[in-house]
Amino acid sequence: MQADIEEILVSAEAIKNRVRELGAAISRDYEGKNLLVVGILKGAIIFLADLVREIKIPLILDFMAVSSYGSSTRTSGAVRILKDLECPVEDKHLLIVEDIVDTGLTLKYLVDNLKARHPLSLKTCTILDKPSRRLVEVQLDYCGFTIPDYFVVGYGLDYAQQYRHLPDICVLKRDIYTNGQ
């Protein structure tokens, strides 16, 4: 798999330090509040696990699974909920945790959908922001790293369900995801 990697974009150590900072900021901001952390499956799971261990206040954890990519490297633009929340949101402060925000289409859909359920507040957190690909405006309240328009894998991010386990965020070699497409 290492042969498939062009370069390490964000090291495991840099990720660890930034997640610690994000956890501290979220802990301060939500002190004394009823926090529901919503992890977006599957890509955010590793970031989410690390992040909630750094949040030093009580929280409830729930998950949503959405699809906008299928097995492609480009979003279809149509977002579908594959798994919805189990917890009601009306009396809670929601924090959506995503792996990467690029076009913004998925996050905008999630924010609009969850706001319609009347939480007390709603904020967003992502480990990666790729603003050069943005198609719709979204607000990122907590962001780990802003990156250029590279196809990245590792730390939960995948290509064709591979590479999620890599500890660093890496640029995937172009020929890996363009062969056969």
Q: Is residue 16 part of a domain?
A: yes
Which residues span the domain enclosing 46? 2-173
Q: Is 58 part of any domain?
A: yes
Structural domain count of the chain: 1
Q: pLDDT tens digit string along 114-167? A: 999 999 999 999 999 999 999 999 999 999 999 999 999 999 999 999 999 999
Q: Catalytic amino acids?
A: 102
> How much is the average pLDDT of 95-107?
96
What pLDDT, on a 0 to 100 scale, did the predictor assign at position 77?
65
Distance of alpha carbon 3 from alpha carbon 142, whole angstroms: 33
Looking up residue 108, the CATH number of its domain turns out to be 3.40.50.2020
Instruction: Say whether pLDDT at 40 is over 80.
Output: yes
What is the per-residue pLDDT for 73?
53
Is position 162 within any domain? yes
Q: How far apart are CA 33 and CA 130, in angstroms?
A: 30
**How far is 145 from 142, CA to CA, in rounded Å?**
10
Distances (CA, A) of 111 to 26, 116, 140, 159: 18, 9, 11, 25
For the chain, how big is the Rg over CA atoms in Å? 16
Distances (CA, A) of 95 to 2, 53, 165: 34, 15, 24
In this structure, is residue 66 part of a structural domain? yes
- Alpha-carbon span 20 to 41, nearest angstrom: 21
- The token pair at 65 is 């699974």
Average pLDDT, the chain: 93
pTM, to two decimals: 0.92
Residue 61 lies in a domain: yes
Q: Give the pairing type, strands 121-129 and 142-146.
A: parallel
Residue 32, CB-side half-sphere exposure with 13 Å CA sphere:
0
Domain-located, residue 180: no
